[in-house]
Chain A
């Protein structure tokens, strides 16, 4: 396959995922558009070297995350404020979050969480949200599957706390929800 056809295939298959990935790294719409363009350009450039040693998906996500991480690293003031998943997990009071009133608010909340994270943790949470398992994430990041699984466990706990709290609030207004949903326990995907 040629460089162009590989890019065509990647953009076709992973286009929406790349857009979401850019959202995880840049809030400003204009800067995000530039970042997305840069990811697409670098992806096309990288296909000149694609030797099928890894899957197309792994290749695409590696390039995309690496370019986006470079974008974050260059903003040194912003970078210094980023925290790890472990830090967020231990922030007191982070489980007392007000109920998000709409889908967009809930999405904003997830985005806020992602934007606070250091690149490696950000890569893991984005991959997790894209429904990847620990092995696939390990292949992209280079971390051991056990390490990734541990991080995912923490991510799930944080999301459960944030969204579980919201579910309890929602339960007050909507009694049709099941107990499992209201506890926030069963609703999260388990990979």
Chain B
């Protein structure tokens, strides 16, 4: 075993570990910046187009239906497509790089990041406009559901959809709540530590 083995000096051990010389040229940095802007814009445009496609699909269904209740359902779903496009524009469209990364202390940045994640989980239902989506579906299928009152065997046609929906709800809601609770707990721990630090 070497005699200069630095077991008693972790700082020396850490600072003398082999490192890789890494540096980006000004050209590379500008190229990366441009690339990132383009990618973010592409993602946003893709999501906006998807939203408008959803809107067009349900608008088409709207024009093909003559009963007013399903028409109302297709109209709500069509509006949901526009809402999706708006949300994509609002949240994905590339903005300037935020200077928060340097102005905030690491403790504040860590707390902000956790809060951002918690808010995302908390508002995912609203941001995806799932209320519009389920309301539209419910209105659109209402006449068909009413028909099953006189012909119960038609209910079997809806069984797979109902099962899938139930499974999705059973997984989505508890997972969302669990993630939210864990994030909140971590935020609370940080707040307690912050209060203790100020006291």
A-B complex is real = yes
Number of residues from A at the complex interface, CB < 8 A? 69
Contact A66 B198 (CB under 8 A): no
Answer whether residue A129 sits at the interface, using C-beta atoms and an 8 A cutoff.
yes
The secondary structure that dominates the B interface is helix
Q: How many residues of B contact A (CB 8 A)?
A: 47
Q: Is the CB–CB distance between B182 and A188 below 8 Å?
A: no
Within the assembled complex, what's the spacing in Å between the Cα atoms of A19 and B193? 29
Instruction: Answer whether A120 and B33 are a contact pair too, CB < 8 Å, given A20-B14, A59-B102, A167-B7.
Output: no
Encoded as 1 (CB less than 8 Å from any A CB) or 0, chain B from 7 to 45 comes to 111110111010111111010010011000000000000
Complex Cα gap A155–B24 (Å) = 34
| Whole-angstrom CA separation of A59 from B32 in the bound complex | 22
Q: Decide: A163 and B7 in contact? CB cutoff 8 A.
A: yes
* Inter-subunit contact B11/A131 (CB<8 Å): yes
Residues in B whose Cβ lies below 8 Å from that of A27? none
Are A41 and B19 closer than 8 Å at their CB atoms? no
User: How distant is the Cα of A76 from the Cα of B107 in the complex, in angstroms?
Assistant: 18
**Partner pick for B13 among A37, A103, A170, CB 8 A cutoff:** A103
Chain A residues, CB < 8 A from B11: 128-131, 188-189
Interchain CB contact under 8 A, A142 and B107: yes
Q: Does B3 contact A (CB under 8 A)?
A: yes
B1, CB-defined interface residue at 8 Å = yes
CA distance A187 to B193 in the complex (A): 31
Cβ B24 vs Cβ A46 within 8 A: no
A174 CB-CB contact with B under 8 Å = yes
Q: Does B63 have its Cβ within 8 Å of any Cβ on chain A?
A: no
A46 and B185 CA atoms in complex are apart in Å by 31
A interface residues (Cβ-Cβ under 8 A, vs B):
4, 7, 11-12, 15-16, 18-20, 23, 36-37, 40-42, 44-46, 48-50, 59, 61-63, 65-67, 69-70, 73, 76, 80, 100-103, 106-107, 110, 119-120, 123, 128-131, 139-144, 147, 159, 163-164, 166-167, 170, 173-174, 176, 181, 184, 186-189
